[in-house]
Amino acid sequence: MDYLRVKSAKTIESSVLDKGTVTATRLTRGSPGHGYVRQAVIEDAFMISVQLRDYRGQLWIDGRWIDFPIGRAGNFTLYDHKRETEADLQTAFDCINLYIPRPALDALQEDLGSGQIETLNVAPGADTDDPVVRGLAHALIPAFEQPAQTSRLFLDHMGLALTSHMAIEYGEADASRLHHSGVLAPWQLRRAMEVVDAHSNGNVTLVELAGACGLSVSYFTRSFKRTTGMTPHRWLQKRNIEKVKDRMRKSGASLAEISIACGFADQSHMTRVFRRLIGTTPAGWRRQIGG
């Protein structure tokens, strides 16, 4: 994103699929008149730009002016990086750019039962209202604000959800194939949980988990949820919270010490997850049990 000349750009890179990465970048400028920018590299990839505030500017694709009246907050514009993009960024902006390289889409072909997804059918410059894309982008906002508290499992899950949705909704892939996954065999579930449990900080990828079970990433993710009722990321969070509760029952260790021992970035991270899942803080829960 250097070609945008933005002073501060927080970037999260996630190894979502075993043949590629999905990258999310939040770009913010509080004042108008940033000016002219040009795409730095022509490559086989797509970028989804989700606006967090209304934005206006001028857009050219392959040298041709594109009617781009407004990018409304919550909507997205799709850019095909095989085509040269130029823009005049006229107003202030706050957007999340989601970069999908070709390998990320190709890795879905077997599970979706499709040939190569040649393109994503969104008109150049179209201001597209898609609640799924909007929800995924907004779910990433806390990750930009607290990157140290964001696990690889969460980022992998978000990237897989994005690529699957785009392939089905705009790439003409067959969604029915996604409903044919079963549950994990007992040995697969046991192995997946062993791997997750060995990485309590969440720094394990879906690629590694799926590989341990001999499955593709998307098939594994769906089967894990069918088996446990939750995503690997949510299962890990619940597992870590149970570890926290166990330590508070059995030891007088400080909450700061417990948070690190149980895979959280720090005490505030543990407190936030604990409150969301249990409904109270770790300190409050410890008082309730007389610890």
Q: What is the pLDDT of residues 198-211, one digit of tens each?
A: 887 778 888 899 99
Q: Where in the chain is the domain with CATH 2.60.120.10?
A: 2-170
pLDDT of residue 119: 87
Give pTM, 2 decimals: 0.80
Q: How far apart are CA 230 and CA 236, in angstroms?
A: 10
* pLDDT per position as a tens digit, 14-71: 333 233 468 888 899 888 988 898 988 899 999 999 999 999 999 999 999 999 989 9
CA-wise closest residue to 270 among 249, 245, 250, 290: 245
Q: Which two tokens stand for residue 89?
A: 């960024």
pLDDT score at 176: 65
Name the stretches of the chain with pLDDT < 70. 1-21, 110-115, 174-181, 291
- What are 94's strand-pairing partners? 28
Walk across the sheet containing 85-89 and list its strands: 35-38, 85-89, 57-61, 64-66
Q: Does domain 234-288 have CATH number 1.10.10.60?
A: yes
Residues of the chain with CATH 1.10.10.60: 234-288
The CATH code of domain 181-229 reads 1.10.10
The CATH number of the domain covering residues in 2-170: 2.60.120.10
User: Which positions ≥6 away from 31 have C-beta within 8 Å?
Assistant: 92
